[in-house]
Structure 1
Amino acid sequence: MSQIQIAERYAKSLIELAQEQNKLVKISEDVLSLEAVCNHKEFAAMLQSPIINSDKKSAIFKELFTGKMDELSFQFIQLLIQKGRESLLPSISSAFIRQYRTIRKIRIARVLSATVLNEAELVNIKNRFSGWLKPGETMELHQKLDPTLIGGFVFEMGDQNCDASIKRQLEEMKESLYDKSYISLVEKR
């Protein structure tokens, strides 16, 4: 069985346990926090290290997460360490979040902008594109900076996008001017 399949199964098991205990939202918050920690280079190296034994890894997790996450999340991590599967934690976290979003009908949207958008602007953009959602779906909006856009924004959700950036408008203007000047040159001949 591949590492991805193993991660998917562990994630599914955690989701099922969380649902049984009515803790799905809380566990998802824990897993999001855990995923953020797993993205740190040093932490990821510790998870992969065969030199650091399971007792030491367990002690590190206890130090980091005791009292900061639900008992179910904590026990799940301890189980992974006991089974020697802690190196799969980043993959399990990603699989869990993906499955959670599917269950909760959460679609990921991304807005690219040249500058940081304030909360009111983000809400406005979210409301503007909420029509792209199917009934029962919700949107999780992520912001990313792209100074090359000059101004405006690009909104992406799934395979749909809307480019309302100054960069695109300037490119279209350039194309239009180029086409018109080319046509006028051809007509003069």
Structure 2
Amino acid sequence: MLSYSSYILLGLAALSVTCHAVSNYPGVFGIPGNPAVDGPRGPPGFLAAQLYNAVSNLQHQLLQLEAVLALNGKIRKVGNKIFASNGKKADFASALRTCEEFGGTLATPMNEEENKAIMDFAKQYNQYVFLGIREGDTPGQFKYINGMPLTYSNWYQHQPDGKGKEKCVEMYTVGTWNDRNCKVQRLTVCEF
């Protein structure tokens, strides 16, 4: 069975091919063109209406897939982000690679609501979760994996305390954070 991300990529690819086809036939799709160059025009907007219906159908199918995955506890949607887990544990590098293979990255909470969504996975699987946060060059200064400084944090009391020896960040099942060795196995939760 294809993953949720795979369905999205397939849908976007189909839309891209269809849009490319539309741009190659001006005048036929209700797009202005030169009949002498482009040939006779078809009914105004006929294929544009078909394209609209195809896109609407794809949107409906994606919403249905999202609802099924949410119902099964596989995804959580918060704002413009979708968090998903395969329920498997991995070290930090492997977890990040898994997320990137599907077009995402490790879950990175930017506010309390996103933190809670990730915590729900930690509770569901009763496992600590790696976050998309790492210690920078200066011990004790943590950044998002894209290099940007943290704008939100939820450290457990007296954390971080690794002083440069614990470069990764895990989330406890209660939603608070701890700095941790990157080689331990933690639940993989991705964001898209």
Q: TM-score, normalised by structure 1?
A: 0.30
